[in-house]
Amino acid sequence: MPTGFERGYVVGVDIGGTKIEAVLLSDEGAVVSSGRLPARQGGDQVVSDVEALVRQVAGTLFSKLAMIGVGIPGQVNAQTGHVSNVVNLGIGEYDLGSVLQRRLGLPVRVENDVNVAALGAAGIAKAPKKGTTVFLNFGTGLAAGIIIDNQLQHGESGAVGEIGHLPVDPNRFDCPCGQKGCLETVCSGSAVSRLWPYDNPALPGLIAAAQRGERNASEILAKVTHAMGDAVQIVVQLTDPRRIIIGGGMAKTGKPLLDLISREIGTREKHCAFLRNLDIASRLELARLDEPLGAIGAALLCR
């Protein structure tokens, strides 16, 4: 990934469905400071919180800032900074980039939050500059960040990778986007918490209950695992990536999550030579979750 920064310090901000994180990076790309705030609903509230967090992490170095990079869920016009359909934050349409630029007096670049997480994950993992890397985010929502030959992919409207709103799940649960059966309604962090409200975090508790032989847990885990397999298979057959980096809050489950997905893919491969030849499991890896990937990736936009 690109390693050159605008002269001066930069701040990367990652706006998630439940929290906002920021990092201050030096000229050399070293993390100088970081901070976090809970996310609030509405565009004006998000702007106020981002401004406060940028000023907090920059501190006395605010006057030396060269640029701000921001990641946010939903559809993002990376050229204008306009965002839309940020359903988890209650934002319909909002000129996030221009409003932040006026408030902070600095250039601001805005990207989809999963795209900036992809930049952060691929940069830390030293992903190859040629070929395709996919960051599959099992977080509050579900989406994929796609990097081809070192370039983020956007598409015509910025909706590339929004696989969470593919209405293909047979359970047909209602989705906040207005459809039924979206993948996000079964295999996102918020969905698993709804389906298994007995543990926090939900997925490790669900796995443990299923391993104890609890029938209800086994049935729910089968639904979740099947949807995760669909998500992986979709990105593989659409982009044929060299690497699939699994991230998001549910990735904190660690190896048991990777094992779940690999077993699901293995089951599908038993009956399909086409899938066996793709060797999907060998492409899977976990993101490094000891780093604020989204905020670091947002800072990498400032190049």
Maximum CA extent, the chain: 61
Considering only CA atoms, give the Rg of the chain: 19
> In the prediction, which pLDDT does 124 show?
61
> In the prediction, which pLDDT does 1 show?
31
> In the prediction, which pLDDT does 3 show?
39
Could you report the per-residue pLDDT of 160-206, keeping only the tens digit for each?
Answer: 899 999 999 999 999 988 999 999 999 999 999 999 999 999 999 99
Terminal CA-CA length for the chain: 11
Scored b (16 or more CB within 10 A) or e, 113-142 reads bbbbbbbbbbbbbebeeeebbbbbbbbbbb
User: The whole model's pTM is what?
Assistant: 0.86
> In the prediction, which pLDDT does 4 show?
42
- Phi, psi (rounded to 5 degrees) for 261: -65, -45
Determine if the peptide bond prior to 201 is cis (ω within 30°).
yes
CB 137, CB 143: distance < 8 Å: yes
Residues 6+ apart with CB under 8 A from 118: 133, 134, 135, 145, 146, 147, 152, 245, 297
> In the prediction, which pLDDT does 137 show?
93
- Measured from the Cβ of residue 245, the count of other Cβ atoms closer than 10 Å reads 29
pLDDT means over runs of 10, the chain (303 residues) = 58 91 90 95 96 97 96 89 88 96 96 91 68 93 92 86 95 93 96 97 97 97 98 97 94 96 97 96 92 91 81
Question: Would you call 179 helix, strand, or coil by DSSP?
Answer: coil
Of 117, 114, 59, 69, the C-alpha closest to 96 is 69
> Which one-letter DSSP state was computed for residue 16?
-
